[in-house]
Amino acid sequence: MIVVMKAHATEAEIQAVAKMVEELDYNAHIIRGIERTVVACVGDERGEQHQLTHLESVAGVERVMPVVRSFKLASREVRPEGSRIKVGNMEIGGKRIAVIAGPCAVESEAQVEAAADAVKAAGAHALRGGAFKPRTSPYSFQGMEDEGLRLLEKAGRRVGLPVVTEIMDPHDIDLVAAHSDMLQVGARNAQNFSLLRRLGRIKKPVLLKRGMSMKLEEFMMAAEYILSEGNPNVVLCERGIRTFETATRNTLDLNAVPLLKEWTHLPVIVDPSHGTGIYKMVAPMALAAIAAGADGLLIEVHPKPDSALSDGPQQLKPSRFAALMKSLKPLAEAVGRTL
């Protein structure tokens, strides 16, 4: 259930409603929108929900309504205008398309510095790079770990871009959060519920990727794990799913974009690099993602893709990334966005 407060409800009225909700054994999440504040009541679904409807007569309350969907806090009903998530000086979910770019993995100081210069010069808004890499084989390059985090942070600070990097192990959350502006949960961990819960207890934004066999409803429930622990800063990322088609690494499910935008207030971005696995397909699918209504893009860019230690075939070299950014601008404008 959600308690929709009147447009001019006072802070004292909002707090009083939250307190009453807690007294009925629900957790109260105060969600402040531009026009109105909503108190989302989450708890045991077997609870006596009808008690909440009595709140309709309390001062400052406009109405009490059920949230029909299984995901409660992520549902668009609680914030119809959509969420805007701040990541350093980048905002995801506003009018501007947010572009996060950088190498699959941090490989050396020279590599990440060159990547940072390239993506900054082309107009990206954040620098990415994996320091802890979830590789299919234990014998593949696993990332530079702590050293990689420090190199990524240094490169991002130098060029003035916030940094995004993957978190794999709940024990590393404090370390990774200390060196980055946004923590990415990869496809392989998208239903690691203890990791998601722990990420719900920090305030840093989380970039949640769709698991490779995840239905959209399951994707939403994964986001709900983070939100329900108190971290409202979640961005969803469609990165392709496994299908019978093997001509591409994954099948980029662009259906997900308009559907998720209808279901949830959380921003939705698209990763055409992992979604296709083929560098030549990254630009057309990036354009298609923006046309479909995505709030941003995650693009792998490497100064020398041929010698990359991971995901070489899908990484863009800097000149191709710069060309993509140029072609995105008129498209973004055509769909009422900016770059």
Residues binding ligand PEP (CB under 6 A): 104, 130, 134, 186-188, 209, 239, 274
Site membership for Mn ion, residue 316 (CB under 5 A): no
- Measured from the CB atom, the residue of 82 and 134 that comes closer to ligand PEP is 134
Site membership for Mn ion, residue 5 (CB under 5 A): no
User: For residues 228 and 42, is the Cβ–Cβ distance under 8 A?
Assistant: yes
For residue 303, what is the DSSP state?
Answer: S
Report what 239 binds from Mn ion, ligand PEP, none; CB cut-off 5-8 Å by kind: ligand PEP
Q: Restricting to residues 65-124, name those near Mn ion by CB under 5 A.
A: 104
Helix then strand then coil, % of the chain, to nearest 5: 40, 20, 40
Nearest distance from C-beta of residue 130 to ligand PEP, angstroms: 5
Give the closest residue to 325 by CA, choosing from 263, 283, 276, 275: 283
CA distance 121 to 176: 26
Site membership for Mn ion, residue 311 (CB under 5 A): yes
Report what 290 binds from Mn ion, ligand PEP, none; CB cut-off 5-8 Å by kind: none
- Measured from the CB atom, the residue of 274 and 320 that comes closer to ligand PEP is 274
Comparing every residue's Cβ against ligand PEP, the nearest one is 186
Comparing every residue's Cβ against Mn ion, the nearest one is 104
Nearest distance from C-beta of residue 287 to ligand PEP, angstroms: 20
Q: Roughly how many angstroms between the first and final C-alpha of the chain, as a whole number?
A: 37
- Measured from the CB atom, the residue of 37 and 184 that comes closer to ligand PEP is 184
What are the angstrom distances between the C-alpha of 147 and each of 2, 43, 109, 130, 192?
A: 45, 42, 9, 11, 25
Q: One-letter amino acid identity for 210?
A: R
Nearest distance from C-beta of residue 184 to ligand PEP, angstroms: 6
Nearest distance from C-beta of residue 281 to ligand PEP, angstroms: 16
What are the angstrom distances between the C-alpha of 313 and each of 35, 104, 209, 273?
A: 46, 11, 20, 9
Nearest distance from C-beta of residue 250 to Mn ion, angstroms: 11
- Tokens of residue 17, six digits: 């409603």
